[in-house]
Amino acid sequence: MNTPSFDFGMIGLGVMGRNLLLNMADHGYAVIGFDKDLAKGTALESAASPGTAVKAVSTLAEMVQQLKTPRKLMMLVPAGPIVDSVISDLLPLLEKGDIVIDGGNSHYKDTLLRINFLEDKNIHFMSMGISGGEHGARTGPSIMPGGDQLAWQQLKPILEAVSAKVNDTPCVAYMGKAAAGHYVKMVHNGIEYAIMQLISEVYDILKRQVGLTNDELHSLFKKWNEGEMQSYLIEITRDIFLKEDELSKNRLVDMILDKAGSKGTGKWTSQDAMDLPVPIPTIDIAVAMRDLSVFKDERVAAAALYKPRIKTVGPHKEKFIHQLHDGLYFATIICYAQGLALLHNASPALQMDIPLPDVVRIWRGGCIIRSSLLELFMTAFKKDKQLANILLNKKLSSRIKKKQAAIRKVVQQGSSARIPVAGLMSALAYFDAYCTERMPVNLVQAQRDCFGAHTYQRVDREGSFHTEWE
């Protein structure tokens, strides 16, 4: 009989599960892992740092037996039916009070169903977003737990130990009730999609319109990353430009096919935002552009038919590059604004009580969308915990105003040169619409009432009105 001497169990020893477990072991926790693929268990044990307590087992039962009670277990398995099948395998092995965490990118609606299912089974269930990729999992991710409060209290020390730190503060906090952990992670990924889209558009302009080489792109992104636009995504982009291809003499980035993949979290963000409804057009566009990229054959045919000629930039290259910097800075703020506004509205609608000040605080380190901008957002939410949209913060507005002219120039130049800049355009259009006191939807309402008797409200009196238009 195995004695229960382990602090934490992991089900699923892919790179994320393995690295997070090794991270826990490095912080003094005795950890045990299980994966159906036994080779992954062997890989876990051989990667353990000397002197740490790391064990792999070949059955779930062996793992459960060796965990101290109340047991703390995390699933890091692909989202979807596998999560349900692991839960049903686990249930007969668990006891009252045990904690089960879903640390994968599950859809929050699936999580809500699971919470319901487990409610009367005396198991504490937590939804938990983890961001930072494989490197982050090993060295300190940003962790977004939500749901069961009691489980959170018990897990707090271990999660604080393994998470990323910014000025010694752990990048983990309770994200709210029910499926809040997965909801916040989903929106994190939506913002991630949008910022990646913006960076790729700016790259396209710099490469095809301005004519920069990969080395020049590297130097430029290096410079940008040293200034106000410092971020993880800019940092990795800087290094991507230098990576040599092992199969050809070219840079790897030039040998990668222009068809983007996705696992769905960006799409879920857009779908959910539309259901609420909350506008997040730059995230929507980022999803659409990944989708459009997949229609490669059609794009090639259309290019032959319409022959877009790229107009290169003339003598004002330096000035334009500066405008690109400011335009990207502006549009990146808009991506966060849309994602955070979504959280602000989803929180009461889904009864999750998501603490926005904590969200921006824990996104400052470890996660994919970490950037120096998060410090500014943190200050904004310190001033007003219920801030509906960061664009309404006075301090931020003065920065945004300074970058406005640049984004307009970039969008003009990009579109007149026939470079697709849908993300940058959508960010600017969102901003312009958000700042419009009287939108032209009075006409839309008139049309709706004209053809469908849908009624309208008036500017001068309360109530609902219908007119016989013809």
Residues found near ligand 6PG in the complex (CB under 6 A): 105, 131-133, 189, 192, 261-263, 265-266, 367-368
Closer residue to ligand 6PG (CB): 33 or 132: 132
Q: Which of 370, 331, 332, 192 is nearest to 264 (CA)?
A: 192
Q: Judged by CB, which is closer to ligand 6PG: 324, or 368?
A: 368
Residue pair 332/198 in contact (Cβ under 8 Å)? The answer is: yes
Report in angstroms how near the CB of residue 140 gets to ligand 6PG at its nearest. 12
Closer residue to ligand 6PG (CB): 262 or 372:
262
User: 302 to each of 17, 298, 299, how far by Cα in Å?
Assistant: 44, 6, 5
Q: Which two tokens stand for residue 423?
A: 């993300």
Residue pair 79/106 in contact by the 8 Å Cβ criterion: yes
3-state secondary structure of 441: helix
* CA angle 161–41–117, rounded 5-degree value: 70
Taking the least distance from each CB to ligand 6PG, the nearer of 125 and 363 is 363
Q: Is 192 a residue of the active site?
A: yes
Minimum Å gap between C-beta 116 and ligand 6PG is 25
Q: Please state the closest distance from residue 265 (CB atom) to ligand 6PG, in A.
A: 5
SS3 414: helix
Cβ(195)–Cβ(187) below 8 Å:
no
Residue type, 362: I
Q: Report in angstroms how near the CB of residue 291 gets to ligand 6PG at its nearest.
A: 12
Rounded Cα distance, 213 and 250, in Å: 12
Residues 6+ apart with CB under 8 A from 470: 450
DSSP state of 27: T
266 vs 423 by CB, closer to ligand 6PG: 266
Cis omega (within 30 of 0) on the bond before 157?
no
Shortest distance, CB of residue 184 to ligand 6PG, whole angstroms? 11
Nearest approach, Cβ of residue 367 and ligand 6PG (Å):
6
**Could you say which of 40, 55, 72, 185 is catalytic?**
185
Kindly tell me which of 136 and 414 has the beta carbon lying closer to ligand 6PG.
Answer: 136
Of 171 and 387, nearer to ligand 6PG (C-beta) is 171
Alpha carbon distance, N-terminus to C-terminus of the chain: 86
> For residue 235, what are its two tokens?
């940092």
Phi then psi for 171, rounded to 5 degrees? -90, 60
185 classed as catalytic: yes
CB of 188 to ligand 6PG, least distance (A): 6
241, 221 in Cβ contact below 8 A?
Answer: yes
Question: Catalytic one among 55, 177, 192, 267?
Answer: 192
Query: What are the structure tokens assigned to 205, written together?
Result: 């302009």
**Given its phi and psi angles, is residue 167 left (phi above 0), alpha (psi -120 to 50 degrees) or beta?**
left
Residue tagged 């929507």 (tokens): 284
Distance CA 68, CA 151 (A): 15
**Of the two residues 41 and 146, which places its CB atom closer to ligand 6PG in the complex?**
146
Which residue's CB comes closest to ligand 6PG?
Answer: 131
Paired tokens of 171: 């990048």
- Encode 63-72: b = buried (16+ Cβ within 10 Å), e = exposed: bbbbbeebbb
Nearest distance in Å: CB 296, ligand 6PG: 18
CB-wise, 132 or 414, nearer to ligand 6PG? 132
Alpha carbon distance 71, 34 (integer Å): 15
Give the alpha-carbon dihedral of 364, 370, 372, 373, to 10 degrees. -90
Nearest distance, CB of residue 44 and ligand 6PG, angstroms: 20
CB–CB of 173/149 below 8 Å? no
Kindly list the catalytic residues. 185, 192
